[in-house]
């Protein structure tokens, strides 16, 4: 099933504004300041963080279920770091932090499953060009 999104940018880089839509229900506005100067508001890196955490959490739950574990919850946060590299804005790091509630599973088993999900979820694979993707995984 194809997923769709769109965006429009109006104006110059520093004085322009943009809008985006992902699917039917996710939309927002962004600007140079919300992306590069920490002004409150949306930016594309937030969408990447949300996509990565959603895909990773689902992949981890699926892997645990396939191993015979009942998953109560997998909650994942992501921090996407955008820095200038050789004069170009570049996503240099994604830090994933996941906490699971999985009755009967030990910490080592959860961490191993989380590493597998990090390597195999479709969004992780799409983001393979990011220099550093870290994972901190623990049970609640």
Mean pLDDT of the chain: 96
pLDDT value of position 39: 93
Strand order across the beta sheet in which 73-85 lies:
73-85, 88-101, 132-139
**Position 47 pLDDT exceeds 90:** yes
Please report which confidence band the pLDDT of residue 21 belongs to, taking 50, 70 and 90 as the band edges: very high
Question: Are 5 and 20 within 8 A, CB to CB?
Answer: yes
CATH code 3.30.300.20 region(s) in the chain: 44-139
Kindly report, residue by residue over 50-103, the tens digit of the pLDDT.
999 999 999 999 999 999 999 999 999 999 999 999 999 999 999 999 999 999
Distances (CA, A) of 73 to 31, 62, 99: 35, 12, 8
pLDDT at residue 45 greater than cutoff 90: yes
If you write DSSP's letter for every residue of 33-87 in order, what string do you get?
HHHHS--SSB-HHHHHHHHHHHHHHHHHHHHHHHTTPPPSEEEEEEEEEEEEETT
Class of domain 44-139: alpha beta
Q: What pLDDT, on a 0 to 100 scale, did the predictor assign at position 38?
A: 87
């Amino acid at each position: 099933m194809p997923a769709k999104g769109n965006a429009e940018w109006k104006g110059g880089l520093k004085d322009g504004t943009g809008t985006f839509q992902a699917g039917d229900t996710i939309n927002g506005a962004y600007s140079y300041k919300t992306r590069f100067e920490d002004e409150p508001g949306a930016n594309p890196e937030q969408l990447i963080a949300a996509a990565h955490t959603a895909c990773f959490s689902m992949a981890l739950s699926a892997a645990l279920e396939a191993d015979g574990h009942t998953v109560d919850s997998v909650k994942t946060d992501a921090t996407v770091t955008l820095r200038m590299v050789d004069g170009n804005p570049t996503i240099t790091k994604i830090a994933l932090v996941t906490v699971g509630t999985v009755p009967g599973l030990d910490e080592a088993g959860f961490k191993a499953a989380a590493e597998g999900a990090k390597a195999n979820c479709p969004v992780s694979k799409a983001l393979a060009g990011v220099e550093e993707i870290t994972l901190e995984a623990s049970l609640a």
